[in-house]
Structure 1
Amino acid sequence: MKNKDTADTAQSVYLLEYGRRKIKVCADTFQNLAQIFGEEGEGMDAEEEAGARQARAVYLMRKKLTEGRQLFAGNLKEMAEMMNQVAEESVRFISLGSRRQKQIAKGLLSEGLLAKDVYLVQKGDGRMELSVLLSTKGRASRTVEDAADYLSVLLDMRLVSAKRNPFFIGQTPLCFFFEEEPFYCYMTGTAMAVKETEEVSGDNFAFFEADDGNFTMVLSDGMGSGENACRDSEAVADMTEAMLEAGLPLEMAVQLVNSAVASEGREENMPTLDLCSVDLCEGSCRFMKTGAAVSFIKRGSIVEKIDGGTFPLGAFGYAQAKPAECQLMDGDYIIMLSDGMTEGWPDGDGESKLESMIGRIGAVSPGELANSIMKYAIEQCQGRIRDDMTVLTAGIWERTRED
């Protein structure tokens, strides 16, 4: 049996290396294409440009094509970088041994579950993932949460179901994935106010947790207000969420969204993008801001300000995102705002006044915190809502055994 385990491990290593090489070949292809498009699209020489200026329509068309090629080349480079990152990811198979696998299968069978092919994998960041082929015994139904609880006891490891799993385990065997439970948990809150002359807000947001244990807050403020601004910011928020859930890094997602906005060529359509990603295993926090307003981290009465980005999406071919990293602690709050929360105050000092007010608030739920901030901002503006106003909050706590 040991020889079989060794052979299986060697085969798995070979297949991983084979897949890694194939991905790298694809990445090199995208990189070469990016270079070709970039070189050919760098622009016209002086003689061509002088002649083209005599026919402005031709000049503008050539200029637009050049910009389009540069954007496409940038997207190809991002794809190549993503493929190389995937290829460099390392995993290590941890052999459970035939006896341990039989014990796990026997324990699950007593709970009405049939188990085969149990594999424990340690990913490059040190986190553990378990895969197992599961089906139900007879017609009894089981949920994937049930299986996670049983496996946690059998392996003495706190496991949760991966989000890509089906909810129910049926009679047909399927491969299910389970991951180590993150060290931190969170709660969120929101508060919104629509500009007094509009019916819909030009701000849109999203909260989501990815399979890699990262919780992300997304806020987009459309240029202007009303339905057009709402449509633009909603598209940005949806596109960003889809990219991050697919596993793209923050920087790459921002660049691709920026390219999509820039390719439309509409100067009146330049929404902002504000991202905050929290690693629930490590407690680290990363902001990426493109034209976004200020954010805050509240730790008791101490408030840290995260300055906003400079230019909105689509202003340049390459997004001028401003990253910031922080380490969170048990009981911290993250607060994100649209610019309507700090602009239009009588004395023009919205940021510092909000910062002081946030520091004075005691321990409350994220929802209460968001509502208190919104109420204070509206009061300071004498009850007027001259722009769309949005507050997103998240409280981060260390997970206890009872959670």
Structure 2
Amino acid sequence: MEKAERSLAEPVNHVGLGETKVEVFKGLKQFSAHLQVLMIEKGLVLLLIGFLLGRALILSHLTPFALPFFAAVFMLRRNCAPLALMGLLAGALTLSIEQISYSFACIVIFLVSYRLLKNFHKEDTVSLPFFVFFTVMVVKSGFSYFQSGQQFVPYDVLMAVIESSLAFVLTLIFMQTIPFLSLKKRIKTLKTEEIVSLIIMLASITSGTIGWTLYGLSIEHIFSRYLVLIFSFISGAAVGSTVGVVTGLIFSLASVSSFFQMSLLAFAGLLGGLLKEWRKAGAAGGLLIATLLAGMYGDQGVPLMQTLYESIAAIALLFLTPKFFTNQLSKLIPGTTEYSNEQQQYLRKMRDVTASRVEQFSDVFQALSKSFSQYNIDALDDYEERELDMFLSHVTEKTCQTCFKKEQCWTTNFHQTYHLMKDVLYELDDGQAGLSQKLTKELDTHCFRPKRVEEAIQQQLTYYQANQKLKKQVHDSRKLVAEQLRGVSEVMSDFAEEIQRERENHHNQEEQIFEAIESFGLEIEQVDIYSLQKSNVDIEINLPYSCNSHGECQKLVAPMLSDILGDNVIVHKEECEGGPAGVCHVTFRSAKAFAVETGAAHAAKGGGLVSGDSYSTIELGAGKYAVAISDGMGNGERAHYESHETLRLLQQILKSGIEEKVAIKSVNSILSLRTTDEIFSTLDLVIIDLQDAVANFLKVGSTPSFIKRGSKIMKVEASNLPIGILQEFEVDVVSEQLKSGDLIIMMSDGVFEGPRNVENNDMWMKRKIKELETEDPQMIADLLMEEVIRTRSGEIEDDMTVVVAKVEHNLPKWTSIPMHLSFSKKKKKIS
């Protein structure tokens, strides 16, 4: 029974123990929060700091800290100024009655003068140091005057100037550091001057402990070394040695006997920072080494063991310091890992916010596109019926209103009259010269005034057609806006996805590439890796101008990167600053798997200068290459303008990232709405993906294209009307998988339909292309043009354009350079 009772009680005890730990943790957290509010928000920390600064000395009798500290607290945290005053006076009282009198007089005179002269200055931080300077000058000179038997001694005047100058500088320093003693202070990155100001303030506070001992150990030495340990452990050798020098300097000014501490603290900060990779043990080891060296060769008046014990006490304080405190301080100092992580987190947050906003805009444009493109079919039918009723009402108002058969037609035989008027309207609206014989006979039989009714319908039809044309343009405009908004929405959605792709850290890879290239004998200054994805490598390298004077980047660096990364890397961009100290900024990127070489030949009708055909080769940013031909209706400048405008609009829209189908529909809508003239243009477009050589042919009213693969000729065609004829049409896309060496031959109708006395243009063109022995695109274009013109006996009866594109594997100009064996093992990590 006892065992059973114990076994039942044990789980309850464990649960109770867990709940107790949670309660203790919550209690400690609440106590920490209350303590933080009490010390910082209520200002008790200012009381303690004021006490230490009130008794801090320089050169054994100067006290320049009291008034600057009070003035800074009075300006920045006025509600806590009484606590600071109490602390300063209490600290001064520990020195002497004369010192508390001097500090009290400085503060009172400062307050009185500041209040009396408030109308002559603004309450800002610019005038405050000058108030402190003149207050300290006046009070110090006055005290020296009465202490010297009512006469000015040059030495006392000099000391007054020195103390006033120190007070002026300390005011500026305290103005920088007091805001950190507030819960409302936003945590931000410390600037260099703010770090130095914080160090000076901490060292000044520590100097207030001069003369205090604990078990024979100097408190000021323990805290000064602890201060150096903290900063060297967090920030490294540079900041650690700076803290040591500044702290030792302030201690040496406070007491000449402490001058030896400057070398000890500076050396400890340097060694601790160099050994910070070993965390707290490394910083502690640096202090111990510095203590032993300084103790053996430094001040002989201080026993080595006492100095060693003081360092051990500082090390103990370092190990007792919570990790939370050191991490929070690390986030404020540039160069630390925590600071870098904080910056990365901030950038990641900004990236997510930006991507979210872009996605929201994309959704807005998508919603607007749907709003513009949706139509209520039932409401549209009702609207057309109302339009017809309004049309017939205008006709009957001019004809039937005064007719004696009005009641018979529109009351007795309403449906028959209504349908008869509709039939007359539809026949006249078809563009016929007159009514059909059957409808004329029906109208004569039914109506008393048939000619008058016909004339009224004809007249009203003119206004009706103009109104319908205007409504059609409005409808077309809505469709254009809807397509454009949808395209913009898709582009913004893709852009949001690109923003989400976070740049990876490639520090190790950068070091490995740096080491590999330098081991080859090339001097480089910096390597920045932005992407190491297959077929999407993006690397920037800075090297001296002398290292690239003979094209070493293209001939050596790019081939080495190709071997290291296992990808075809080429020089994408190169910017060099000449001169002995010049630098070259070179961008290396992955070469595309395929390259396109083009050739073109064109001629205007009758050998003129202006052709109605236009062609363009467009290198799009997404690793695609586009070739386009546009044939404007007719010949001459107007046709040239239309075809050129078609390609210009298409190029701009495609470069923005909008899908090619949407781009062609947008161009069609723009051209059809821009003018009322019947000016049309064809479009022959092929877009080649340079990574997999897939070609998408989009043909709008254009002639067929041909693909030549060795002796095989393939025809590519699609059935679409020219741009500008129809507002709504579907773009047929024909996809073909190309191979290296394939030739794409595109031509306008002047070439395809140009040969004279040829019944089958397809067969003739295939035969001519098959007979070509050259694979040079420019020569093929010239030869085809020449063949067509020869069939016409040298006459050019229409604008003629031929564009030939050859797809080939993109082989590097320089072969890859295999690296040495020791680095080849690292290659897998990089790729």
TM-score normalised by the chain length of structure 2? 0.43
Q: Give the 3-state SS of the residue equivalent to 1:212 in structure 2.
A: coil
Partner AA of 1:153 in structure 2: M
Mapping for residues 49-198 of structure 1, pairs under 5 Å: 49-50=387-388, 51=390, 55-56=463-464, 57-88=466-497, 91=501, 93=503, 95-96=505-506, 98-105=507-514, 107=517, 114-115=525-526, 117-122=528-533, 127-132=535-540, 146=553, 150=557, 153-154=560-561, 155-156=564-565, 157-162=567-572, 167-169=574-576, 178-196=588-606, 198=608
Cα gap change, 1:261 to 1:149, in 2 (>3 Å): farther
Partner AA of 1:364 in structure 2: E
Partner AA of 1:294 in structure 2: P
Indicate the structure (1 or 2) with the bigger Cα radius of gyration: 2
Question: Hey, what's the Cα distance between the residues in 2 that align with 1:14 and 1:173?
Answer: 35
Displacement after TM superposition at 1:353 (Å): 0.7
Q: Of residues 280, 302, 310 in structure 1, which corresponds to 2:690?
A: 280
Q: Which whole-Å deviations, capped at 9, do the CAs of 1:26-67 have from their partners, x for residues lacking one?
A: 111112212333347985812442236763344433332232
Partner AA of 2:671 in structure 1: V
More strand by share: 1
Partner AA of 2:557 in structure 1: Y
CA contact (8 A) 1:334 1:393 kept: yes
Partner AA of 1:193 in structure 2: A
Question: Hey, what's the Cα distance between the residues in 1 that align with 2:364 and 2:640?
Answer: 38
Cα gap change, 1:137 to 1:85, in 2 (>3 Å): same
Say whether residues 1:24 and 2:359 are aligned partners. Answer: yes
Mapping for residues 231-380 of structure 1, pairs under 5 Å: 231-344=641-754, 345-380=756-791
Higher relative contact order (CA 8 A, sep 6+): 1
Cα gap change, 1:7 to 1:101, in 2 (>3 Å): farther
Alignment correspondent of 1:45: 383
- More deviation, 260-269/228-237: 260-269
Q: Which whole-Å deviations, capped at 9, do the CAs of 1:72-120 have from their partners, x for residues lacking one?
A: 1222122223333444567575543x33323445648986754364222
CA contact (8 A) 1:289 1:308 kept: yes
CA contact (8 A) 2:616 2:627 kept: yes
Displacement after TM superposition at 1:377 (Å): 1.7
Alignment correspondent of 2:638: 228
Cα gap change, 1:87 to 1:319, in 2 (>3 Å): farther
Cα gap change, 1:361 to 1:3, in 2 (>3 Å): farther
Cα gap change, 1:74 to 1:244, in 2 (>3 Å): closer
Displacement after TM superposition at 1:191 (Å): 1.3
Question: Hey, what's the Cα distance between the residues in 2 that align with 1:269 and 1:381?
Answer: 28
Cα gap change, 1:322 to 1:17, in 2 (>3 Å): same
Say whether residues 1:200 and 2:535 are aligned partners. Answer: no
Q: Which whole-Å deviations, capped at 9, do the CAs of 1:1-47 have from their partners, x for residues lacking one?
A: 99899888877766655444322211111122123333479858124
CA contact (8 A) 1:148 1:161 kept: no
Give the gaps of 5 or more residues in structure 1.
Answer: none
Say whether residues 1:33 and 2:363 are aligned partners. Answer: no
Question: Hey, what's the Cα distance between the residues in 2 that align with 1:197 and 1:181?
Answer: 41
Q: Give the 3-state SS of the residue equivalent to 1:45 in structure 2.
A: helix
Question: Hey, what's the Cα distance between the residues in 2 that align with 1:224 and 1:205?
Answer: 16
Displacement after TM superposition at 1:188 (Å): 1.4
Give the gaps of 5 or more residues in structure 2.
Answer: 1-335, 392-459, 815-831
Q: How many residues align?
A: 395
Cα gap change, 1:102 to 1:263, in 2 (>3 Å): same
Q: Give the 3-state SS of the residue equivalent to 2:779 in structure 1.
A: helix
CA RMSD in angstroms, aligned pairs only? 3.7
Partner AA of 1:21 in structure 2: S
- More deviation, 29-38/6-15: 6-15
Cα gap change, 1:12 to 1:379, in 2 (>3 Å): farther
Q: Which whole-Å deviations, capped at 9, do the CAs of 1:180-237 have from their partners, x for residues lacking one?
A: 1112223211111211174311111112323332222111111111111111111112
More helix by share: 2
Question: Hey, what's the Cα distance between the residues in 1 that align with 2:723 and 2:584?
Answer: 42
